[in-house]
Chain A
Amino acid sequence: MKIKVIVFPGSNCDHDTERAFRNLLDQDVEMLWHKEENLGNADLVVLPGGFAYGDYLRTGAMARYSPVMEAVERFAREGGMVFGICNGFQILCEAGLLPGALMKNACLQFRSMQVHLRVETTRSPLTKHLAQGQILKMPIAHGDGNYYADHITLTELVDEDCILFRYATPDGLIIPEANPNGSIFNIAGICNKERNVFGMMPHPERACESEVGSADGLTLLRSLMESLELSTQPRLAKVASL
């Protein structure tokens, strides 16, 4: 799989993301500077975590106008898979590729900790090979992870089964105590209606080896890779038959 990791000025999880996909999942990864205007041949575009443009104005507000974002938006509208992690999620929301917004944490503090997520749907490439209700442990590190959507958007997210992950207790209870940032409905990750753009605040790329506290992130990324391989098989077969 050809994976493009977009690097904005201020990205700081780009190399973690690269390492996870290249070293642990054996994928073809290319880092793409934000000034690029063309994505080239890509199966998946990843917007990594960090503090693009120093989070000036508002998280993701400037990054969404980076030259590369036009190509990312075009890629997404054509059905290409786009995955935003933390700051990447914020940028995707700012760009309008995902609904809702990420606000300052309700506690008004930067939160760096391990959290538990409950998988709410398996109807997405990211969660297709996981189990509904499965609990994943991975870290968060953000000051603006308080996901908000108005009532209509939230109802649509629920009705369209677009909520991928919610903050939960280790035994799967969705309660305020499990919510680290005040996100509405304990939402930690969502996808769009077309199910090709997804974003999440926790960092799966930082939870890929048990030595760092959890390898659940690798399970998640592996699920994404398996879904990608399945979705590109018909295309590869078509190319091979030409």
Chain B
Amino acid sequence: MPVKKVDSLLADYAFYHRKRGNKVCHFIGIPLIMYSLFVLLRPVVLIEPFTAAELLVILSIAYYMSLNLKLAIGMLLTTSLLDFAAGKTADFRIGIAAMTIGWIFQGIGHAVYEKRSPAFLRNLIHLLIGPLFLLNEVWRVRRITPASAA
């Protein structure tokens, strides 16, 4: 059976995120980074009332839809929630703080637990795969093992 691209990408991401401590750090770090991105992009108004934050949601969901519809719906709900929360607390200082703390958690996860450099250093697409990987860890839409990426 042909391998699905989503399985390959998730398995590759999983390859660099195997340690429990690293996963926990990512469960804290990635939502913080996503939230901070929405906070920081909110002041950039494109067409009233839409901002660059909504554009980011649309573009990322379009990419996720090309991979897996069910996960894309999950991501739409997640990102919309984070975007809504960012709208309620739109303060760039909070955004910068969340961004900094988020990346610190990511760094700790890779340096202390995983002891391997982050996957996005190999390809920036991994920045988009990170949230999808976490959602799949919770929702288990795709069963991911190295063998599933054959």
A residues lining the B interface (CB < 8 Å) = 118, 132-133, 151, 154-155, 158-159, 171-177, 179, 182-186
Cβ B5 vs Cβ A176 within 8 A: yes
Do the beta carbons of B117 and A184 come within 8 Å of each other?
no
Least CB separation from A147: chain B residue: B150
Contact check, A174 vs B9: say whether CB atoms are below 8 A apart. Answer: yes
Contact A158 B122 (CB under 8 A): no
Distance in angstroms between the alpha carbons of A30 and B23 in the assembled complex: 50
Quote the shortest CB–CB distance from B125 to chain A (angstroms).
6
Question: Quick check: is B66 within 8 A (CB to CB) of the other chain?
Answer: no
* A186-B5 Cα distance, complex, nearest whole Å: 12
Residues A175 and B122 in contact, CB atoms below 8 Å apart: no
Roughly how many angstroms separate A184 CA and B3 CA in the complex, as a whole number?
A: 10
- Nearest to B118 among chain A residues (CB) is A133
With A158-B15, A173-B9 known to touch, is A185 a contact of B150 (CB < 8 Å)?
yes
What is the minimal beta-carbon distance from B133 to any residue of chain A, in angstroms? 14
* Chain B residues within CB distance 8 Å of chain A: 2-5, 8-9, 11-12, 15, 18, 116-117, 121-123, 125, 145-147, 149-150
Query: Complex: how many Å from CA A184 to CA B15?
Result: 13
Q: What's the Cα separation between A176 and B122 when bound, in Å? A: 17
Q: How far is the CB of A187 from chain B (nearest CB, A)?
A: 9
- Cα distance A175–B9 in the bound complex, in angstroms: 6
List of B residues within 8 angstroms of A159 by Cβ: 18
B2 cross-chain contacts in A, Cβ below 8 A: 176
23 contacts between A and B (CB under 8 A): A118-B122, A132-B117, A133-B117, A133-B122, A151-B145, A154-B145, A154-B146, A154-B147, A158-B15, A158-B146, A172-B122, A172-B123, A174-B8, A174-B9, A175-B5, A175-B8, A176-B3, A176-B8, A179-B3, A184-B147, A185-B147, A185-B150, A186-B8
Counting chain A CB atoms within 10 Å of each CB, the highest count among B2, B8, B9 belongs to B8
Name the B residues within 8 Å of A151 (CB-CB): 145, 147
Q: A182 — which chain B residues lie within 8 A by C-beta?
A: 150
B21 CB, nearest partner CB in chain A, Å: 16
Identity of the chain A residue whose Cβ is nearest the Cβ of B11 in the assembled complex: A185
Whether the Cβ atoms of B146 and A171 lie closer than 8 Å is no
Question: Nearest 5 pairs between A and B by C-beta?
Answer: A184-B150, A133-B122, A174-B12, A185-B146, A172-B123
* Residues on the B chain within 8 Å of A172, using CB: 122-123
